[in-house]
Amino acid sequence: MGGDGRQELNQFPGITAEDAARLAAARLQETTHHDPGWYRVSAIRSITGGRRVMPTMEERLQDVYDLLKKHAAGQPEEVEGADSPDVVPKVLPVVESNDAIVEFAVSSYAVMESVSTVSIIVCRHGNTQNTVIVRPNSSLSLVVTEPGVFEFERPSVLVKESVGVSQVPVVRKNGADGRVTLNWRSRSKSAIDGKDFIGGEGTVTFEHGELNKMIEIPIINDQDVEKDENFELVLYGASAGATLGPTKRTIVTIVNDDDFNSMVSRVVMMTKVNMDSLRVGSDSWQSQFHDAMNVNGGDVENATPFDYLMHFFTFGWKILFALIPPPTILGGWLCFCISLMMIGILTAIVGDLAGIFGCLIGLDDSVTAITLVALGTSLPDLFASKQAATMERYADNSIGNVTGSNSVNVFLGLGLPWVIASIYWAAQDKPFNVPSGSLTFSVALYTIAAVICISLLLLRRYVPVFGGSELGGRVPQKYATAAVLITLWFTYVVLSSLKVYGHILL
């Protein structure tokens, strides 16, 4: 974020360095040009409850992010009472109103049960010229008897390499009753246990009424000039009925001493950590199995019910494909070759299962191919193209993703097996015959639909009344375009099916 972005952030005093780093990571991911493969991976992970490659932000940060995007685009910041879906209202830190607004300073209080009284702060803003009398409807009693919720104070911690011992704070919320013991363990990332820090496993004990504790991790200062390195701490196994909060993992980054005191450097380092967690590939089998076995790659606080549902249905496939070597081995070629082999095996299985299912419900194989199989294999393209359309400045990646994928399906997926089969039968000195069936009619019908589709896109680009752009535009034109394209697909499926079953004689 540039200077203007920092001025906008000044309106939000609650924005921390960690929040600024997350905003920067989100902006970097959105403005970076991605290839179609990235969008395909992102789409598949979104519909299977996998680890996201786009950062998930809470509503408070999302409002700030939307405001910063408007400012960067040079759009007007505020349009009061606007009903247009294209207008994003300005996010204000304080509500401006002609009415007197009275509210509690915070939404919740945590107190020890041993206190006799507690002061509840009430704030007033807006119109402060007149006297306002507020009568509470009922008395308020606070009794805290729960052991509490335990989590790291922050999702990331920065320490100097020369600090000696890093102290990572753990906090206790929503209760302070009883003695509670937590387990913790470290996990090496770019920082290696025994080389850059001394980690392992341990326990931290909260006595009755104790709200804060520190986990101490010795940091090894080797005096070498190194890039910033990081490792992860994880909380688990709370005793006495206590629970863990959403921030049960934290990233500890060991930074260069000279850069530590710079706020800009801190934000940059944390942004790098966030970007590292969003990368598509994994650097070890351990990371792959960790991502495969945990919903949303372990980021459960941002997981949705749909993520849990799809993770349950796809868990077996995730574990199976986690066996593929990570792309860091042999420059990624081993991962590439074994992935192709696994995709081939999976394609054969899916093809057989689709044929069996079509047989059970009375569908011809060619109808099964253009409906069930085609729809299933094209869903990732649909979601990937949708994400590309919303993130990219131009429509090229969105449309090219679909056409490129289908080109691979036709030219490679159809051509390669035919070449192999023709070589095999030529070696047997026998002809290789493939009955055309309804192929001619189907190809002609598809060609007509494709010409209409491309013509519609050209009209949308060059004729303003059709929208003025390939994707998006005014609401009536974009919905009318979607209806035309969906109608083309239904027409192709229906006419091809009628041809297969002999209802069309051509």
Residue 488: predicted pLDDT: 92
68 — pLDDT class (breaks 50, 70, 90): low
Question: Strand, coil or helix: what is 278?
Answer: coil
Percent of the chain with pLDDT over 90: 8
Tell me which of 45-59, 202-216, 420-434 is least confident: 45-59
Lowest-confidence pick of 248-262, 412-426, 460-474: 248-262
> Which of 182 and 265 is assigned the larger pLDDT?
182
At 42-65, the pLDDT tens digits run 777 777 777 766 666 666 666 666
CA–CA separation, 149 vs 147, rounded Å? 7
For the chain, what percentages of helix, strand and coil (3-state, to nearest 5) are there?
50, 15, 40
Tell me how crowded residue 217 is: count the other CB atoms within 10 A of its CB: 24
Q: What is the pLDDT of residue 185?
A: 92
Q: Which domains does the chain have, with CATH numbers?
A: 3-72 (no CATH), 149-279 (2.60.40.2030), 331-500 (no CATH)
Q: Which amino acid is at 42?
A: S
Examine the pLDDT at 276 and tell me if it is beyond 70: no
Average of per-residue pLDDT across 219-229: 73
Distance CA 61, CA 72 (A): 16
Say if strands 165-173 and 180-188 run parallel, antiparallel, or are unpaired: unpaired
Confidence class of residue 340 from pLDDT cuts 50, 70 and 90? confident
Q: What is the pLDDT of residue 234?
A: 92
Question: For residue 384, what pLDDT is reported?
Answer: 78
Check whether 365 has a pLDDT greater than 70: yes
- Phi and psi at residue 197, to the nearest 5°: -155, 165
